Amino acid sequence: MSAFSPQDAFGHPDDLRVRMVPEWGCALVYTPSHPNLHYLDAHSWLIFELCAGGASFAEIRSGFRECVPDDTPNSEVDLAIDSALTTLVRNNVVVRVMAPAVPSAHR
């Protein structure tokens, strides 16, 4: 069971300093508001990128799913996303944001 709901939305704090290091297969992220340097492996880097612009958890899951082999069990996909996203949020590399308002249906 995920710690996140499909409607939760995530984005990047405004003050991040990001350095992509493709030759190492990672990204380095500095969080000035909580001074620390974070190493993002390929999975965390992908989830970090999927959070750009205020993506919902459902969108992040869908985007991540497209990047793993088709025969990967959903439980493994969910565990990888939950683990990485929990760590990214805890380290202030990714923040929860307001989900875009869904227009109400007219009667």
pLDDT digits (tens, 9 = 90+) for 60-91: 999 999 999 999 999 999 999 999 999 999 99
Q: Which residue has the tokens 């380095």?
A: 28
Residue 26 lies in a domain: yes
Phi (first) and psi of residue 88, to 5 degrees: -60, -40
- Give the total number of structural domains in the chain: 1
Residue 48 lies in a domain: yes
Residue 99 lies in a domain: no
Residue 22 lies in a domain: yes
Q: 45: domain range?
A: 9-94
Residue 85 lies in a domain: yes
Residue 105 lies in a domain: no
Residue 25 lies in a domain: yes
Strand order, beta sheet including 9-11: 55-56, 9-11, 95-97
Which pair of tokens denotes residue 31?
């969080």
Global pTM value:
0.85
Q: Could you give the angle at which helices 74-90 and 57-65 cross, rounded to 10 degrees?
A: 130
pLDDT score for 102? 52
Residue 19 lies in a domain: yes
pLDDT score for 4? 87
pLDDT score for 86? 96
pLDDT score for 72? 94
In the chain, which residues have pLDDT < 70?
A: 1, 99-107
